[in-house]
């Protein structure tokens, strides 16, 4: 589809076609994040069919998550330099191909390559560009728009979890993968909805890119193979990268990035091991899948209600605090999980964890946008989701290794819980230090400023600041001979 530019759009419309963008992003999160979560339902089937242990089987889910996040900057680059529509459509084709080829797998290694790498790459081209598009169309109601869009992950999990279990029972795991391959082709439809928009803050960067292209073309006309042309190409590339990734030097973004590493390590294993853990404590297969459905539907409530609440005037300035609060409470839920060994106890856990999982997932792009701005949001989200990659890759196998070594899930769940709590504490500590510096700065500036002087005339005192430095001291003394310096 041809790229449609709208030069007249100077600010986010907060509605109109923006709601179609939200609908498209909603479907993208269903086809990417919800389907990825439902891969854990295949866990027992893969383990039984290929006769492998927990750690080996867990690599499938890890690779999908890792490649999705690791290649997120690639998705942002395709979106920035071609179009969001092209990136998402291409991603849909790749993801579908991965599922279809995975249905013919004869070993876990085949699943690593098809269901893991190929599908993950397709999801990467779709996920971060779709989320960034919502941020371009909304400003005042950004958190609510993100809440609705990101709720696709929860709604998709709620609907797909029992459906996937039924497909496995009716058509075996091969038939279920084949059907899911057809389902994720809907990403191509989602891509068609992503109509580009040009914002006021995008124009300066666009003009600089146009100037760079014009100069490069002039050099090519003069001599396409001259050293000057190559030098201009390198300069333009460096300029473009510096513009797109200048946020990497922001202290606030660095702290957020480090905290994301610990948060991502903790959040992933639950979606792999909740069903196996429930089966290990005597819960039936259908009831275990039902726990995933509960997790999904409560995730929806967390997405939408937290998005709506943090758009209210009373909480709009505290979205950062709400985010770290939600991450910390998910960590506390993890610490309680080893003590919950029956369905009536696991249901409240799924509700609580699902709610706060939906809450902080909604606020990730909102908090990122507050730190880096809308212009760099696509690239920043690519980096943020890229940082999820390594934790997503290593955390399920590490958890599986702990389960194989200790014979229980306790150590795995405790490690995940403390990781998420540390992420929350790190963000809180950084915000506290920043606030203390802001409070102390005016007092330190006033005390350390030697140019701040006090002039008196009888009982009236005048505070004379730096502007007096521009005047000649002798002329001031001549003009006001009666004033005394104290």
400 Cα distance to chain centroid: 25
Strand-strand pairing, 484-485 and 453-457: antiparallel
**Backbone torsions φ then ψ of 50, nearest 5 degrees:** -95, 0
Domain-located, residue 421: yes
pLDDT at 353: 92
Domain-located, residue 312: yes
Task: Using the structure block, give the residue that is written with the tokens 């146009």.
Answer: 210
63 Cα distance to chain centroid: 18
Burial 428-452 (b: 16+ CB within 10 A, else e): bebeeeeeeeeeeeeeeeeeeeeee
Angle between helix 251-280 and 389-406 (nearest 10)? 30
**Residue 455 CB coordination number (10 Å):** 16
pLDDT at 57: 81
pLDDT at 285: 82
What CATH number corresponds to the domain at position 391? Answer: 1.20.1250.20
Which structural domain, as residue segments, surrounds residue 344?
Answer: 17-197+246-439
Question: From first to last of its 486 residues, what are the pLDDT tens digits of the chain?
Answer: 444 444 444 566 777 778 888 889 999 989 998 898 888 788 888 888 887 777 788 788 878 888 888 888 888 888 878 888 888 999 999 999 999 999 898 888 899 999 889 999 999 998 888 888 888 888 777 778 888 888 887 788 778 888 988 898 888 889 999 999 999 999 998 888 888 776 665 555 555 555 555 554 554 454 554 554 555 455 555 666 666 677 788 888 888 889 999 998 998 888 878 888 998 888 888 888 788 878 878 888 888 888 788 777 777 777 888 888 899 999 999 999 999 888 889 999 999 998 898 888 888 888 888 888 777 777 788 788 888 878 877 888 888 889 888 888 999 999 999 999 999 999 888 888 888 877 776 655 555 555 444 444 444 444 444 444 444 444 444 444 444 443
pLDDT at 178: 93
Contact predicate 212/240, CB 8 Å: yes
Per DSSP, what are the bridge partners of residue 454?
463
Task: Using the structure block, give the residue that is written with the tokens 């997503």.
Answer: 392
User: What's the predicted TM-score (pTM) here?
Assistant: 0.66
The number of distinct structural domains making up the chain is 1
Domain-located, residue 254: yes
pLDDT at 211: 52
Extended beta strands in 417-479, E state = 453-457, 460-464
Cα separation of 358 and 241, whole Å? 33
SS3 472: coil
- Residue 339 corresponds to which tokens in the numbers above? 């003590």
Cα separation of 146 and 363, whole Å? 8
Cα separation of 184 and 9, whole Å? 32
Domain-located, residue 381: yes
335 Cα distance to chain centroid: 24
Domain-located, residue 425: yes
**Backbone torsions φ then ψ of 197, nearest 5 degrees:** -140, 140
Domain-located, residue 202: no
**Backbone torsions φ then ψ of 163, nearest 5 degrees:** -65, -45
pLDDT at 414: 93
pLDDT at 122: 92
Domain-located, residue 223: no
Among 302, 279, 420, smallest CA distance to 352 is for 302
Domain-located, residue 131: yes
Give CA separation, 323 vs 269, 288, 309, 329, in Å: 20, 29, 12, 10
């Amino acid at each position: 589809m041809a790229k449609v530019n709208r030069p007249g759009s100077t600010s986010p419309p907060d509605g109109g076609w923006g709601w179609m963008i939200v609908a498209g992003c909603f479907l993208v999160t269903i086809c990417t994040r919800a389907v990825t979560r439902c891969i854990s339902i295949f866990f027992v089937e893969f383990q039984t069919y290929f006769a492998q242990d927990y750690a080996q089987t867990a690599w499938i889910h890890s690779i999908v998550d890792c490649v999705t996040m690791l290649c997120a900057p690639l998705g942002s680059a395709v979106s920035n330099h071609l179009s969001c529509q092209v990136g998402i459509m291409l991603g849909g084709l790749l993801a579908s191909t991965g599922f279809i080829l995975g249905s013919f797998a004869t070993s876990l290694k085949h699943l690593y390559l098809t269901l893991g790498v190929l599908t993950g790459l397709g999801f990467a081209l779709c996920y971060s560009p779709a989320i960034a598009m919502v941020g371009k169309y909304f400003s005042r109601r950004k958190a609510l728009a993100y809440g609705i869009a990101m709720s696709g992950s929860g709604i998709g999990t709620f609907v797909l979890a029992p459906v996937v279990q039924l497909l496995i029972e009716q058509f075996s795991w091969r038939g279920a993968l084949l059907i899911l391959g057809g389902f994720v082709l809907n990403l191509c439809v989602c891509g068609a909805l992503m109509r580009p928009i040009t914002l006021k803050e995008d124009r300066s960067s666009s003009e600089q890119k146009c100037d760079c292209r014009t100069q490069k073309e002039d050099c090519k006309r003069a001599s396409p193979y001259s050293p000057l042309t190559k030098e201009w190409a390198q300069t333009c590339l460096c300029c473009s990268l510096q513009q797109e990734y200048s946020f990497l030097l922001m202290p606030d973004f660095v702290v957020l990035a480090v905290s994301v590493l610990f948060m991502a390590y903790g959040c992933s294993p639950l979606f792999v091991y909740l069903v196996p853990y429930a089966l290990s404590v005597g819960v039936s297969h259908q009831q275990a899948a039902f726990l995933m459905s509960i997790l999904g539907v409560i995730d929806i409530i967390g997405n939408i209600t937290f998005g709506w609440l943090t758009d209210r005037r009373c909480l709009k300035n505290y979205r950062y605090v709400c985010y770290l609060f939600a991450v910390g409470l998910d960590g506390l839920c993890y610490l309680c999980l080893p003590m919950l060994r029956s369905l009536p106890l696991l249901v409240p856990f799924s509700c609580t964890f699902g709610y706060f999982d939906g809450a902080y997932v909604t606020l990730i792009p909102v908090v990122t946008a507050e730190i880096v701005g809308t212009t760099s949001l696509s690239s920043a989200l690519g980096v943020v989701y890229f940082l999820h990659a390594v934790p997503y890759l290593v955390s399920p196998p590490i958890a599986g290794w702990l389960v194989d070594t200790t014979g229980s899930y306790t150590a795995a769940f405790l490690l995940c819980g403390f990781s998420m709590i540390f992420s929350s504490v790190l963000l809180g500590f950084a915000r506290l230090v920043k606030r203390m510096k802001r409070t102390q700065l005016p007092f330190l500036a006033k005390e350390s400023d030697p140019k701040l002087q006090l002039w008196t005339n009888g009982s009236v005192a005048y505070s004379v600041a730096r502007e007096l430095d521009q005047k000649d001291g002798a002329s001031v003394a001549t003009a006001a001979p009666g004033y005394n310096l104290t």
